[in-house]
Structure 1
Amino acid sequence: MTKRGGAEAGSQERRRGAPRRARRGALRGGAAAIGLGVAIWGGAVLASQLPPWVSAGDTPLPAWVRSARVLKRDQPLFDAPGEGARRRGSVDRNVQLPVFAARRAGGCLGRWLEVGAAAWVCDDAVELSAAGPISPLVRTWREMPDGLPYRYYFVGPDGTFGYRRAEAADIDAPDAQLEPGFAVAIVEERIEGGARYGRTNSGFWLPMRDLGPVRAIAFHGVEVAPGAAQIATAWVVSERAPLYTRTGAGFTRTEESKVRFEVVPYLEEAQGASGKLARIAEGDVAAWISTRDLRRPSVAPPPEVDVEAGERWIDVERSTQTLVAYEGPRPVFATLVSTGKGAPGSQRATPAGTFRIWAKLLTSDMDNLEDEAAERYYRMEDVPYVQYFSKGVGLHGAFWHRSFGQVRSHGCVNLAPLDAQRLFWWTSPRLPAGWTAVLPTAHEPGTVVRVR
């Protein structure tokens, strides 16, 4: 799968902030800290009087400066001032960033501003402001009940055209053409000439008559009870799975059944004439179900993580198509996933191994438009909650299918949107509010992801 600002994330994230747009948010630091720095810079001070994050070579700012307003979407941030600095992440337009220090260095005609922990931006990309910085307690995106940050739509069977200006839609020559099945995020709607048009996050106006809404999926994983030696929970993955009762002669099918994505207890196993069954109910007439209709994760020993400190890590089990999140040796969350459908070692397979998350993006565009051998072209705009752990392979939400528990993807680990949302805010590096992408640092490495 080719990711724009995503699956090419290794290079593109470093060149230009990968994700699209985010909502309100905040950064580490606060009004009290900002006030202290500005108060000191506002007058003449000795080097020994400077706060620890300000060096003697720093450039004082006017006393009225309390924040810096970002002027464009996905503004890149760097881990140090000067040319050749490593990408630290990106931040959304109009976010009021706190300002901790100002410094002259190469690569910026003005001053470099420190706007977060190891996060610097050139002052030509911001507007100094007397307004207070955004609260550090607010997430960039608020939690959504369906896990979807935008209203997503699929392009209909006849395709559609996109226009840069709403008033030019269906009148002037189109600026873009979208194929059937492409997915877009609509962030604004408007009526022009009696017809309704929607603006995508990439800035094109599309006729809403050509689009079909994405239906949210309610499925999500489960919290694991503290102290559990095994995960005694399973999910039904068949559309309709028959139940059986145990008799002296073996197992007899009943008229009852379970449906897909139902959560059932996994109490014990037994061998039947046609395969293994699991008991999922107590009582005089205990219910059994074929293990072929279930997915249940196994508890795994930790990889090389700090178990004593309860370091967080993620285990992806391809044989069961499940994911378990751990804190040290303790499983805390489990869910279904869809991994790559390619043969081991192929381009579409999810690679096995132990990795660390190397980039987190609120959204990323994913497509295969450059694959000349593709049988069918696709493009999914603003795929949510992307966490890359092996080059362009990562965890992310998937709103275009409901095949969780089955192999499906082009290599990534597909999650139900609610699970992608939960895990994104649980892993490290933490995404400072107002930011749209973040890369790890030596002080905050990415969460370990093991694929087996």
Structure 2
Amino acid sequence: ARVYSKSREVMIRAAPRPKSQWIGQLTIGSSVRLKSAEPLRGAGDCPAFYAVEPRGYVCVDGERATLDAADPMLQTLAAHAPLADQPLPYRYGESLGLKRLFKVEGIETPEWPSGMHDKRHMQVRPRSSVAWTREVEAGGATWLWASDLTFVPKDKVKPYEAATFQGVHLTSEVRLPIAFFRRKPRPKYRLTEENQLEKTDAVWERLDRVGLTGKSRQVGKRTYLETRDDGHWVLDRDAVVVKPRKSRNPWGRPIQLGGGAPEAVAEGPRSTWIEIAALEGWLIAYEGDRPVFATLISAGRNGAEDPERTEEAEPFVPPSTTPLGQYSINRKWVTKTLITPHVDADDWIEAEVPWSQHFFSKYLLHAAYWHNNWGDGQSGGCVNLSPVDAKWLFHWTEPAVPEGWYAVQVTRKDPSTRLVIHR
């Protein structure tokens, strides 16, 4: 038996009480297995709670959540469910300035369960984003059925081009250091018989990568790095060189550069951690003392700074700046809408941002579907990843998201992936 979500946000609680701490979420199209078919007495507006796997409790009221797999509304909602097995769970586009509508004449619209629409943001300012699942025709126009089940006019949305870049999984053959190439193609150099380095006609394309041997050569004022690509060399300033900044991991063990499988561990924490070079624009994921994955990221467009302690509840970080320091993943969402409030204008909306992982204040690791500019700072301070990389990292980090859950929040018992962010 399972409990099925009929809402965009159904909370999994730590205890069978309406105001108990949330530890997870369900959404449209998701369900979770019951731990027990025996209902627990509810409170307030909740008639009954049910224990779910692997932990927690869900309020089953028939309106937002149900035990009935044949509920007609579930079948209707299934067409609007996010594709949680894809790097991009929705289709996405840039708003050109638009107004959401609850109904459109000529489109049969069900009476949705309460709380489905984002009524606070019916006006979507230009350059905000929209997420949708379906296109429908009515009255000679095409409408997009948005993730909150409102309608937006297709001609007011500019679809984003899919970002296809992805990082590299490290093995005994593919190991650090690695060079990535950002912004534009970069020339390959060859060593001549006179021990000079000359430019060839061949290039590494933008966002290509190549292994490095670790050897370098000084020619005049220029430094060249030897690659593992058929004797080619690269000018050091043309490359984003990814290699550990320190010799030891956060637990004091020497870092191994050889790649390959990490040491086997008993069930429990895998000692996962992530090193992020905010200004250089790269990320390395580690299991214990071994790097297992490397990629380019996009951090804050105004750089990176240490958070300043203030009298306010949270430390201050300058706008569009990535916070330096050590943090831990504490919440994860398959998608999360990010909202930047504005006093004198409509809020800035980034709709249904995939693979969002919170680590500090308002800052997250997440996919960016609105740009393909990896290795350079372009974010509002969060750490942007390509959709493919963000999805892999989301499922790799701790805590794990249980089967059927759409989001998870760390409890004291949960392991949590550590982040080390430096310039």
- What is residue 68 of structure 1 aligned with on the other side? 3
Whether the 8 Å contact between 1:280 and 1:287 is mirrored in structure 2 is: yes
**For residues 142 and 76 of structure 1, do their structure 2 counterparts lie closer, same or farther at Cα, with a shift above 3 Å needed?**
closer
- What is residue 119 of structure 1 aligned with on the other side? 56
Secondary structure, counterpart of 1:261 in structure 2: coil
Structure 1 residues 439-450: aligned runs within 5 Å? 439-450=409-420
CA drift at 1:231:
0.5
- Greater alpha carbon shift after TM alignment, 436-445 vs 250-259: 250-259
Aligned residue pairs total: 367
Whether the 8 Å contact between 2:6 and 2:66 is mirrored in structure 1 is: yes
| 1:259 aligned onto 2:205 | yes
- What is residue 92 of structure 1 aligned with on the other side? 27
**Structure 2: segments with no counterpart, 5+ residues:** 71-81, 108-120, 254-261, 307-317
CA distance in 1, matches of 2:353, 2:46: 35
Secondary structure, counterpart of 1:118 in structure 2: coil
C-alpha root-mean-square deviation of aligned residues, in Å?
3.0
- What is residue 231 of structure 1 aligned with on the other side? 176
| 1:222 aligned onto 2:168 | yes
**Structure 1: segments with no counterpart, 5+ residues:** 1-65, 132-139, 170-174
CA drift at 1:176:
3.3
CA distance in 1, matches of 2:197, 2:343: 50
CA distance in 2, matches of 1:178, 1:110: 37
**For residues 155 and 235 of structure 1, do their structure 2 counterparts lie closer, same or farther at Cα, with a shift above 3 Å needed?**
same
Secondary structure, counterpart of 1:234 in structure 2: strand
- Greater alpha carbon shift after TM alignment, 181-190 vs 90-99: 90-99
Q: Which of 67, 78, 83 is the aligned partner of 1:128?
A: 67
Q: Which of 161, 178, 192 is the aligned partner of 2:138?
A: 192
Whether the 8 Å contact between 2:106 and 2:138 is mirrored in structure 1 is: no
CA drift at 1:302:
1.3
CA distance in 2, matches of 1:412, 1:291: 27
- What is residue 327 of structure 1 aligned with on the other side? 287
Structure 1 residues 420-435: aligned runs within 5 Å? 420-435=390-405
Secondary structure, counterpart of 1:278 in structure 2: strand
1:181-211 Cα deviation digits (max 9, x unpaired) = 2221121211111211111112331221222
- Greater alpha carbon shift after TM alignment, 327-336 vs 115-124: 115-124
Structure 1 residues 148-163: aligned runs within 5 Å? 148-156=88-96, 159-163=97-101
1:114-141 Cα deviation digits (max 9, x unpaired) = 112331122325333487xxxxxxxx85
- What is residue 183 of structure 1 aligned with on the other side? 129
CA distance in 2, matches of 1:291, 1:371: 46
**For residues 384 and 182 of structure 1, do their structure 2 counterparts lie closer, same or farther at Cα, with a shift above 3 Å needed?**
same
CA distance in 2, matches of 1:279, 1:231: 13
Q: Which of 238, 262, 275 is the aligned partner of 2:222?
A: 275
CA distance in 2, matches of 1:282, 1:424: 31
- Tell me the amino acid that sits aligned with residue 211 of structure 1: V
- Tell me the amino acid that sits aligned with residue 126 of structure 1: A
Structure 1 residues 10-409: aligned runs within 5 Å? 66-82=1-17, 84-93=19-28, 95-101=30-36, 102-104=39-41, 106-107=43-44, 109-124=46-61, 125-129=64-68, 141-144=83-86, 147-156=87-96, 159-167=97-105, 176-226=122-172, 231-247=176-192, 248=194, 250-267=196-213, 268-281=215-228, 286-299=231-244, 300=246, 301-304=248-251, 309=265, 310-343=270-303, 344-345=305-306, 346-370=318-342, 378-409=348-379
- Tell me the amino acid that sits aligned with residue 133 of structure 2: V
- What is residue 417 of structure 1 aligned with on the other side? 387
1:5-27 Cα deviation digits (max 9, x unpaired) = xxxxxxxxxxxxxxxxxxxxxxx
Whether the 8 Å contact between 1:92 and 1:434 is mirrored in structure 2 is: no
- Tell me the amino acid that sits aligned with residue 317 of structure 1: A
- Tell me the amino acid that sits aligned with residue 370 of structure 1: H
Whether the 8 Å contact between 1:238 and 1:259 is mirrored in structure 2 is: no
TM value normalised by structure 2: 0.78
Secondary structure, counterpart of 1:435 in structure 2: coil
CA distance in 2, matches of 1:192, 1:221: 42
CA distance in 2, matches of 1:245, 1:96: 58
CA distance in 2, matches of 1:176, 1:109: 29
- What is residue 315 of structure 2 aligned with on the other side? none
CA distance in 1, matches of 2:365, 2:410: 16
Whether the 8 Å contact between 2:166 and 2:388 is mirrored in structure 1 is: yes
Whether the 8 Å contact between 1:227 and 1:330 is mirrored in structure 2 is: no
CA drift at 1:75:
0.6
CA distance in 2, matches of 1:96, 1:379: 27
**For residues 290 and 249 of structure 1, do their structure 2 counterparts lie closer, same or farther at Cα, with a shift above 3 Å needed?**
same
Question: Which of 1 and 2 has higher RCO (CA within 8 Å, sep 6+)?
Answer: 1
CA distance in 2, matches of 1:227, 1:258: 20
